[in-house]
Chain A
Amino acid sequence: MWDLLEYAVEKALKLGAGFVEARGEKQVTNIIRFSNEVLKSIESTSLIGIGITVVVGKSRGHGFTGVLTEESVEEAVRKAIDSARGLSEVAGLSAEPIEYKPKEYSGFIPSRNKDPEHIELEEKIELLRRGVDEIKGSEGLASITAIYAELYGERFFLNSEGLRRHWRPMRNGVYFQAVVRKNGEIGFGRELFASSYGLEIYEKKTPEEIAKKAYTSAVESAEAKTIKPGKYPLVADPTFIGVLAHESFGHLTEGDYVATKASILHGRIGEKLGSEYATIIESGDPVNYGFYIPYDDEGVATEKVVLLDKGILKAYLHSRNTAKLMNMQPTGNARAISFMYPAIVRMRNTYFGPGDMTKEELFELVKRGVYTEGSTGGQTEDTGNFTFGANRAYWIENGEIAYPLKGVVVRAHILDFLKNIIGASKEVIVMSSPLGGCGKGGQGPLPVGDGGPYMAIKEALIGGGV
């Protein structure tokens, strides 16, 4: 692999590129699926290839190939250079990288005692089956879907400054979905877990427990009540709040959106945007169950970036290019989903920082309102308005969970939401997801992590519940 990367860099420089990055990638993805009690499928994908990004004049082009020969690599180099030249006329902002003095990654590295790369599929099938066995035959259960997914491999990086990196991305996780029919009602529940730990993590996070949660959620969903749309106090769990940190705040801090003034956070460093409980951090460090990323796809060691510190905007996320455009430091946020794509500014693990309360104290604080657990996904406008579905939701009465709610969607403007945070727990959970990730610029799903503490919000607009 290194020979071809060296060949690519040399070739591109000869053909007139001012700066070159060559990335090599080997990645295996395995997905095991149970439908009800039947092992339905095992899908295995193996990806190998080389991607070359060049800077020619002001613009940047990317070429790629899955054929590992000098001839194909040369063709990919030519495509990169041609496409950069084709757009040099309209590229208003320079594509050049800022100077980077290499550092080493110094964050947390999850254990990989039982590395999925070296564990037979049978053991992973058994792991998933344990979850299925736990809930099969349960009352009213109409359907179970269970998924184990993993990715592992190697990333190789070389640029025309001679910077060389090699690291091994890895993620694995499980997902359970249950459908229940009860008294003519349909209930739908799901639960997941994923991390960059080896398979030893399932001794602590057992598939039985995760499957059971999916089933009980489905039962609750069949009994769930409707909520009248309107403003309510809210308690959000780490997985719900994490999606907000990522989707509705993190994207607004991405250097490409900021440098082009597309983000509403442009020019607002130092401004107070949230309450004292609103701290948002972005790191390649997975914290606990996030996705481990020591280096980004420009070879920059990932930094821990405090974006929002007790409500005050402190930083943006950068690639070497956006850092140059804004005269800031690169943060190690240039990522590509595969060799087929150029690295663009992306998140890694995005999470709210801890507070000083317990989960119970937050419920007490809110007394009456809505509690959301997990997210079914959502969307954010670049104005800062967002809509997110809750995976599970409950009505809180007298500071305790009273009954499940159906179809709860939370809507707000992120800056209003941040100002309305009135409390956070000490405990912080950051988590990846087995199959999902972030989508941007046609590159998705890119593995990321998100999370935070349990948080209390003075009021938020709750919709849905049809």
Chain B
Amino acid sequence: MEDKVSNLISIGEKVVRRKDEIGVDDIEVYLYEADTFNSRVITNYVTVRSGIDAGAGIRVAIGKKVAFVSVSSLDINRIIETAKLAAKIAKTKEEDPNFTHLPDPMRGYAGHGIFDEGLASLGSEELSGYVSRFVKDTKQISNLRKMDLFLTRANYTYAVVNSRGISIGDYGSVIFVWYEVDLEENGKRGKGMDIYVARKLNEDELFSIMPRAVEMAEEGLKAKKPKEPFRGDAIIDPWIMSSIYWPLAYNVSALNVQEGRSRFIGMIDKQVANPNLTVLDDGTLPEGLATNKSDDEGIPMQKKILIDRGVLKTYLYDTYTAYRENKQSTGNARRRDYKSQPSPSTTNLVFKSTTGKKLEDLIREIDRGVLLRGEAMGSHLINPLKGSMAITCLNALYIEGGEIKHPLHAISMSADYFEFLKNIDTVGSDYKITSAGKIPTIIARNVYFS
């Protein structure tokens, strides 16, 4: 993998050296390559694909005119040709008064995230073997209605090279498995799911998602409808929390703040969440899925306190937004892929546990409420500015008097997102690594269930 990084850096450097021929003041090349295997199975219907997804994203600056282009190729000639298109586009643009310059190098690159040679070297035969085991074991379930399995393993390599002296790259390997079962018994249906995602493969943990999902589905067969809407407390598991953290990420983006699109404008050093809530953004967390030596514009990944006991401490910056305020980037430039230009977003969010409490202890603290777990529908419908939030959970459990009473049919939790942040007063100690970061189970008080 080191060789691949050097190769990408060398392609980047060759392109950057030709900046005068391309006709720009500054140029940045982001190169990405992922060797991907992925398989999807619906019960007994299998699709599988395998190949290399590779390309380059090129950002150029002529004075304060900036343009971005990308190409699905690592061929130097095609990258140069595309860079020339970028130069042409930049010339057609007006100046961006808020642009200072492309990133300057910054010292102190972070270490690698965890890299598992064993995971990276799995071939399609072994990976297909994992899929087979899930399918075969699932076939044994007598009341199975449907199984949905999605398995992806990606070995990625990236490099960022620019004409101001940045030249860095890194690599990693990630496996992601989504497993869902749907059971049917006496006309009733129950659905359960679990996810395995990691930078280091542990087969026992990988296959443990199956019995957990099945147990959840079996509980679903016994689900009842809530008698009436009520106000109560919510225990929210790491997967649900990972699907509703995004409005927080949206509002702490320095770009959204600077452009007038954030609720947190002018809120630095002010209370935005419960005093029991401390959240870090840590791009150096070894097991974190977002961890790399640098962010997506070659600035060292960093660890910073985002919310300290409910008080907002910083916005998240890339170089564009940082230079605009005469600051340093916080290493939060992120891209969806090589086809998109960087903008500030979270890396790995880490919620600090306020108690050593595990899920069982948290349940005992609830007088009347619901444990939300598994999958949340409607999480992307949260309005990040107005704060209206209504999510529906398919695998909830009803809690009364500190005890789980029974599973619930699809139940909705509604709250104002900003009130919700202030009502998260307990952060548990059982974490999961998810695409959001290192996420625990939490308690949010006084939400509305219907």
Contact = CB atoms under 8 A, between A and B. Distances in A.
Interface of A: 29, 35-36, 38-49, 51, 59-67, 76, 79-80, 82-84, 86-87, 89-93, 95, 120-122, 125, 142-143, 145, 179, 186, 188, 221, 229, 256-257, 259-262, 340-342, 344, 376-379, 381-383, 385, 387, 389, 406-407, 409, 411, 441-442, 463-466
9 contacts: A61-B50, A87-B39, A87-B128, A145-B261, A179-B260, A260-B45, A377-B381, A387-B390, A464-B388
A45 B71 contact: yes
Given A43-B68, A379-B377, A387-B378, 15 more contacts: A39-B96, A42-B89, A44-B85, A60-B47, A61-B50, A66-B52, A66-B73, A83-B39, A87-B39, A87-B48, A186-B263, A381-B191, A409-B381, A463-B412, A466-B448
A381 B411 CA distance: 13
Contact of B72 (A47, A82, A179, A377): A47
Contacts of B211: none
- Among B45, B150, B415, which residue has the most Cβ atoms of chain A within 10 A? B45
A43 B124 contact: no
Contact of A259 (B38, B45, B97, B380): B45
A342 B39 CA distance: 11
The 3 closest A-B pairs by CB, nearest first: A92-B44, A86-B128, A407-B388
B182 interface: yes
Contacts of B412: 387, 411, 463
B340 A80 contact: no
Given A188-B383, A382-B146, A229 B229 contact: yes
B339 to A, nearest CB: 5
B45 A93 contact: yes
Contact of A63 (B50, B54, B68, B450): B50
Contact of B145 (A93, A256, A262): A262
Interface residues of B, number: 83
Given A43-B69, A44-B85, A91-B46, A125 B128 contact: no
B72 to A, nearest CB: 4
A82 B124 contact: yes
B1 interface: no
Contacts of B72: 45-49, 66
Contacts of A63: 49-51
B67 interface: yes
Nearest to B40: A441
Given A121-B92, A260-B146, A442 B383 contact: no
Nearest to B90: A42
A332 B385 CA distance: 41
B66 interface: yes
Interface in B240-259: 259
A66 B72 CA distance: 7
A466 B390 contact: yes
Interface in B215-246: 229
Contact of B125 (A44, A46, A86, A379): A86
Interface in B385-411: 385-390, 392, 394, 410
A66 B55 contact: yes
B136 interface: yes
Contact of A89 (B132, B410, B416): B132
Nearest to B128: A86
Interface in B309-348: 339-341
A375 to B, nearest CB: 9
Contacts of A67: 73, 75
B38 A442 contact: yes
B264 interface: no
Given A83-B50, A340-B51, A376 B146 contact: no
B450 A463 contact: yes
Contacts of B44: 90-93, 260
B392 A43 contact: no
Contact of A389 (B127, B229, B381): B381
A87 B131 contact: yes
B384 to A, nearest CB: 9
A152 B189 CA distance: 44
Contacts of B386: 186, 188, 221, 406-407
Nearest to B125: A86
A377 B380 contact: yes
Contact of B146 (A76, A125, A262): A262
B182 A382 contact: yes
B352 to A, nearest CB: 28
A247 to B, nearest CB: 11
A232 B43 CA distance: 38
B93 interface: yes
Interface centre among B38, B263, B388, B410 (most CB of A within 10 A): B388
Contacts of B42: 256-257, 260, 262
A260 B43 contact: yes
Interface string B136-174: 100000000110101010000000000000000000000
Contacts of B150: 441-442
B429 interface: no
B135 interface: yes
A229 B48 contact: no
B48 A83 contact: yes
A42 B73 contact: no
A75 B271 CA distance: 57
A90 B131 contact: yes
B70 interface: yes
Given A41-B68, A261-B145, A87 B46 contact: yes
Interface in B113-137: 124-125, 127-129, 131-132, 135-136
A45 B89 CA distance: 13
A379 B46 contact: no
A407 B383 contact: yes
B7 interface: no
Given A82-B125, A378-B381, A406 B40 contact: no
Nearest to A79: B50
Nearest to B82: A46
B10 interface: no
Contact of B388 (A41, A87, A91, A466): A466
B385 A179 contact: yes
A377 B382 CA distance: 10
Contacts of A82: 50, 124-125
